[in-house]
Every structure is written in structure tokens, then in C-alpha cells.
Amino acid sequence: MSAEIYTPTDDQTLAAADGALPALGTVLDEEALTALVQRSWPEARSARVQYVRYKPGTAVLAAVLIDDGAPHLALAHGVRAEAVPKLRKFQRAAAKHRQWFTMAEENHLALAGAAADRALPGLYRALRRPGVRTLRYKPARRWVGRKDDSPRAPLVKVFSHGQARITADATRSLARRGVPGPLLERADLNADTLTFTWQAGTPLDQVADPDLVGVGHLLAQLHAGRWAHARPVDVAAHPTHSATGLDDLASAHPDLGWAAATATELSRRLAPLLAVPAGTPMLASHGDFSADQVLCAASGELRLLDLDSARTAPAEVDLGSWLGETLARACRQEADPPEVVRRALDEARTLVHGYTEAGGVPVEPARLLAYAARSVLDRSAEPFRLRQAEWIDTARAHVRVAAHLTALAEERR
């Protein structure tokens, strides 16, 4: 991979290209965002975006961490001029939950305590507990945290409307079948909030030599069942979907124009490879299977984590997700797509061996490679959303790796 090509100027270029959404420039500029917060919070030392969702010409949502000597979670919401009434609803939600609120009328951007997130009505209850610690927050989608740092403090998840029931049903279904997974303590479906027992251990993406045969065995256990919930069958995780998020960002840097166009072309080529023939076994799928979704306990036992994306799908969806996430992590460091893919495929063969050894269904190689390519593309905009400094370079690397995987899948078809 080339040396880092991202600079703050790229953020400025992206913001300048979206004249309908003047709030974007402030959200992407830490100094400007801090200055806005300080209008109503003079003690604030900094305001830093942790995760951003961006729809060109329409809206920007960002999870913001404010530091005044202690961390405070906030939500930033910017809209086009015609949508300012949405910010008034945001203001009313902040007042309802006694959250601080500030608004920049000049660029249609408002900030408030995260408990004012209208799409996560259960977040107010979760955040009002003393000592609560946020682990992950994707505005309007999901919040994950713990009540405190004590060993027995449970894990709490707040979802957007309806998602908690699906996750709870999947978790209970897994437990009834005896598959090691999340331990649900309590479900408050009125608040779309689930509470899980905290499980000590190390996610496999942090383990130097993970037991991939064991992971294959665990996945075969999962696939041996069926979900009890009535979620619609999702056989291909966007088989004809072309958007990767890169189109939204292409104006930030000339190289992203190439990456976005190439990603769209790859999506077109992948569509027939992702098609699922009649008679293909449809299985209880994790939906977001990856190394950080498997926990290794001190005893060596492997457990599934996070069934929030549970669906019904072919075996290659989960196996391709694992391979794609492995490659996405390598994209941050590696330059040569064939070599990156070769090493990841060596690991994947071990995983597939463990899977079939434990009774998993036969795996179709071309479809596995295609799902892996789709998985890499779907992750290509995440470095921007997570505000990683190298996000442009990383996005380009994602596309190069996906192109190599797509070519391999076409050869194997």
C-alpha cells in the first residue's frame, strides 16, 4: 500500500462539494466542532467524532465524544435547509430527556446528549445509570455499553425499533440448541433493550494463533439448526446491491472516483455469482460472522457473540463474511492483493475443513469467494465512518482486494 494519502484537506474537499449540507464541514473538523460545543459548554476541552453516517445532500449523523475532564457521549445531527424541522424534533427530544442542546442556525447543525437519539428511545434509560460506559454507538442504529467496569457488570444493548425482538429470539434459539453463544439475562422489548451476561475472554481477532478448526466446528453447530423467529429470508446479503458508500465519498479525492466506479462494476459482476440456485440449503446464519464475533475463554472454549444480524442464508454467507473481514483488516497494512488473498485463503481452508469435518454442508468455492468480495466491498467505507486517518488509502485497498477475489470467483464458476 502506498504511504498515507489522507489529509484534512480531503475532508474539506468533501464538505465543499456538498453545498446542500453545510453542517458536514463542521462535523469533519474537530476544531470547528469543539467551538460549537463550547457555545453552551465552555468547559469542554474537545469534541471528537467517533462514528459518522453521511448521506450526500441530505443529512449527517455523528457520535461525538466530548471531553471536559471526563468523557460525555453526544449526538450531532446536520440537515439540509428544508429539513430544519427535524432538528426541532431533536431539540424537543433533548428537552424531554433533560439533555443539553446547542444549534448552529447558520449551517443547520445541532448537538445534544446522546440520550436525545430519537431512533433509540431506550438509550435514555441506559445512559442515566451512574458509571455507565459506552463500548459502541452507531447513531440511530445501536448502542452497546456496560453499567460499570466491575467483572459482573452485564452488557447492555439498545436497538432501533423492532430489532431487539429479532436478536432476543435468535439468542434464545441458540441457547435451546446448546450452541455456545450470548447469555441473555433480560429483554425489555418496550424499550428495545437487551441485557446480557458479561463473558470474559479474548475475541479471536486479538488471538495470535486462533483455533480455526474449532471455529469451523462452532459454525457447523450454528448452521445445524433453524431460527425460530420469522425474519424474512435474506439469501444473499444484497446480491444486486451496488452501493458501498464510496459513491458518497468520491468527491473527497480523485482516487476515490476510481475506487467508487470500480466497486460499482465489481458489484455488477458479483450479482450472478451470488445468486442462490434452487435447492441450496438455507441455514441459521450469524450474518456478520468474523474473528471479532467469536470469543475465546480462558478454558479455550469458543463462543459466538452478537447475533444482531442473524438471518437465514447459505453457508457461504458466514464463511465469506469471515474471509472478507480478515481481508479488510489486512487492507490496512498490505500492498499486494494476490499475496494478501493467498494468505487469507490458506486460513479459510482450515476453517472450511473444520466446518465440513463437523458436519457442515458442502461449500461452493466460487460462491464463497464472491461473498468474500462482497464482504470486503461492504466494509470499504467503514474507515471513513470510524474517522481513521488512512481511510482513503484503505478504501482503495479494499477495492483492489475485492477485484482480485471477484476474478478468482469468476475463474472457479
CATH number at residue 369: 3.90.1200.10
Print the domain residue range for 142: 119-198
Distances (CA, A) of 140 to 53, 77, 282, 408: 10, 11, 30, 37
Q: Specify the CATH number for the domain of residue 164.
A: 3.30.200
In a domain, 22, yes or no: yes
In a domain, 210, yes or no: yes
Closest listed residue to residue 212, CA positions, set 311, 357, 405: 357
Examine the domain organization and report whether 124 and 114 are in the same domain. Answer: no
Closest listed residue to residue 99, CA positions, set 82, 77, 69: 77
Examine the domain organization and report whether 67 and 126 are in the same domain. Answer: no
Mean pLDDT rounded to a whole number for the chain = 92
Examine the domain organization and report whether 79 and 111 are in the same domain. Answer: yes
Q: CB-based contacts of 72: which residues, under 8 Å, 6+ apart?
A: 65, 66, 113
Please say which residue of 161, 181, 198 terminates a domain: 198
Examine the domain organization and report whether 206 and 332 are in the same domain. Answer: yes
In a domain, 31, yes or no: yes
Please say which residue of 144, 170, 198 terminates a domain: 198
Examine the domain organization and report whether 289 and 144 are in the same domain. Answer: no
Examine the domain organization and report whether 26 and 147 are in the same domain. Answer: no
Please say which residue of 85, 118, 151 terminates a domain: 118
In a domain, 209, yes or no: yes
Judge whether residue 56 has pLDDT over 80: yes
Examine the domain organization and report whether 177 and 221 are in the same domain. Answer: no
Predicted model pTM: 0.92
- Which one has a higher pLDDT value, 52 or 413? 52
Query: Positive or negative, the Cα torsion across 205, 209, 212, 215?
Result: negative
Split into its structural domains, the chain has a count of 3
Per-residue pLDDT tens digits for 290-330: 999 999 999 999 999 999 999 999 999 999 999 999 999 99
Examine the domain organization and report whether 217 and 354 are in the same domain. Answer: yes
Return the pLDDT at 238: 42
Return the pLDDT at 239: 42
Examine the domain organization and report whether 385 and 236 are in the same domain. Answer: yes
Examine the domain organization and report whether 52 and 151 are in the same domain. Answer: no
Judge whether residue 384 has pLDDT over 80: yes
Return the pLDDT at 240: 42
Q: What is the mean pLDDT of residues 266-275?
A: 96
Integer Cα distance of 140 and 160 in angstroms: 7
Backbone angles phi, psi at 198, to 5 degrees: -70, 130
In a domain, 3, yes or no: no
In a domain, 1, yes or no: no
Examine the domain organization and report whether 280 and 405 are in the same domain. Answer: yes
Integer Cα distance of 33 and 139 in angstroms: 17
In a domain, 341, yes or no: yes
Backbone angles phi, psi at 23, to 5 degrees: -65, -25
Burial 43-55 (b: 16+ CB within 10 A, else e): ebeebebbbbbbe
Per-residue pLDDT tens digits for 91-125: 999 999 999 999 999 999 999 999 999 999 999 99
Examine the domain organization and report whether 244 and 157 are in the same domain. Answer: no
First vs last Cα of the chain: how many Å apart? 29
Closest listed residue to residue 10, CA positions, set 389, 383, 316: 389
In a domain, 2, yes or no: no
